Amino acid sequence: MHEAAYAGVVALTAGIFIILSIGLHRRDTATAVNAGVSIVAVVLPLTLGFGPVPPSGQPVDIDPALPLWIAAAGFLHSLGMVGLYEQIWWWDHLTHTLSAAFIAAVIYASLVVVGTHSSALNLSATATGMVTVLGTLWIGVFWEIIELVAREVGEWFDIEPILVHYGWRDTAYDLCFDVVGATLVVLVDFRLFVPITSQSPEIAETLLLATLVVTTIGSLVMAVGLGFVQRR
């Protein structure tokens, strides 16, 4: 099973590399950057298995399902950047649902593990589900603001934006499908990543709090910046 999962990671990553080369050949900055970021996102969790990770000082045993999911989401998103977002109306909904489900699965697993080690975050099953959905939605809002900033930066410097914002109706659809992906994870009690987060509950708790702080402060800063730019 693990061998098949890793084979899938390799195949999908190779596909992203092909899309990266297409973007570079076309001098399509948006496609190239998005494909490059997707590759980094796939490789990053794999590095945790090769070196000491605090506070335990031991490598983390990474389930291949983690990089496989990231690779699948990155590949579908990269395909969208070469035209499928415009050609297939539901492609954006698919990528948002898949990406949101992944984020929700990580949040859900972290809450379950942290709840057994911390009285402050020891939530009921219902509360864990609600926090997972709301947390995923909040990260979705953060992402949508990033898309808006990318559009403004593109217009400001008269360059193609790295991320494309298709309007407020598209934003509403994106957030709805973010909720759909997160809700599916909660409804099926999806605990695939619990074995990974349970190896270091301290890191899981730190990442949860750091994500909350970064997305909240980042959203406020970007919102203020957007308001300033749009008034000029």
pLDDT at 51 over 70: no
Do residues 67 and 110 share a domain? no
Extended beta strands in the chain, E state: none
User: Count of alpha carbons within 13 Å of 230, Cβ hemisphere only?
Assistant: 10
166: pLDDT confidence band, cut at 50, 70 and 90?
Answer: confident
Summarised one tens digit per residue, pLDDT across range 181-191 is 999 999 999 99
pLDDT at residue 3 tops 90? no
Domain count, the chain: 2
Rounded Cα distance, 58 and 71, in Å: 25
- 80 and 118 in a common domain: no
Q: Of how many residues is the chain composed?
A: 232
Same domain, 210 and 151: yes
Predicted confidence band of residue 217 (pLDDT cuts 50, 70, 90): very high
Kindly report, residue by residue over 196-208, the tens digit of the pLDDT.
888 888 888 889 9
Encode pLDDT of 143-157 as tens digits. 999 988 887 777 776
Q: Do residues 203 and 125 share a domain?
A: yes
CA–CA separation, 199 vs 220, rounded Å? 33
Asked if 14 and 112 sit in the same domain, the reply is no
Q: Which of 53, 88, 123 is the last residue of a domain?
A: 88
* Higher per-residue pLDDT: 55 or 164: 164
Q: Averaged over 114-133, what is the pLDDT?
A: 84
Q: How far apart are CA 49 and CA 66, in angstroms?
A: 12
- State the residue range of the domain holding 2: 1-88
Is residue 56 over pLDDT 80? no
Helix (H) or strand (E) run with residue 227 in it: helix 201-231
Strand partners, 53: 58
225 and 128 together in one domain: yes
DSSP state letter for 80: I
**Whole-angstrom distance, CA of residue 133 vs CA of residue 187:** 11
Q: Which of 88, 111, 141 finishes a domain?
A: 88
Q: pLDDT > 90: what percent of the chain? A: 53
